[in-house]
Amino acid sequence: MAQDSEWEPKLVGFLCRWCSYAGADLAGTSRKKYPANIGIIKVPCSGRVDPLFILKALRLGFDGVLVSGCHPGECHYQTGNYRARRKIALTKKFLEYMGIDPRRLQASWISASEGGKFTEVTTQVTKELKEAGPNELFADDK
């Protein structure tokens, strides 16, 4: 895959408003630098993330998707993140079977107090996406 060194991946983060979104906020206010590559969409719970959102983001040309919710046992709605876990696990495995680089779908548990972890995760994900190269999955070459 052709890629010049200037190229920066773009990713969408679906962040749970009760934890990871606040975590991202904390990273911002505590001036921890996290990559500008991520566009954040606030969701009420990681369980809200329909795999459709992930595919839609990839169809629109984003290079990767990060779904992030509360640590197991800490869901604001008790069980939302457990359900998300099942969905995301299946989606990730299934997309890989279809031929989508597994690095394009990432998931994490980040609490409201883990601004540092948010920075680490986004940095790591961005790095991996850079390795994976631009998303040309849905390019109209055929």
Q: Which is nearer to another protein, 25 or 96 (CB)?
A: 96
For the chain, strand residue ranges (E) read: 11-16, 38-43, 64-69, 105-109
Q: Give me the least distance between CB of 89 and another protein, in Å please.
A: 4
Which window, 2-10, 25-33, 34-42, 76-84, contacts another protein (CB under 8 A)?
76-84
Which window, 7-15, 21-29, 36-44, 83-91, contacts another protein (CB under 8 A)?
83-91
* Number of residues assigned to the chain: 142
> Distance (Å, rounded) from C-alpha 82 to C-alpha 59?
27
Confirm if 121 and 56 have CB atoms less than 8 A apart: no
Residues 6+ apart with CB under 8 A from 85: 72
Q: What value, to the nearest 5°, has the Cα angle with vertex 110 and ends 105 and 116?
A: 105
Q: Does 106 bind another protein (CB under 8 A)?
A: yes
Which one of residues 88, 112, 119, 135 is an interface residue with another protein (CB under 8 A)? 88
φ, ψ for residue 135, nearest 5 deg: -80, 105
Which window, 8-16, 27-35, 36-44, 132-140, contacts another protein (CB under 8 A)?
132-140
- List contacts with another protein (CB under 8 A): 51-52, 55-56, 59, 72-73, 79, 82-83, 85-101, 106-109, 121, 124, 137-138, 140, 142
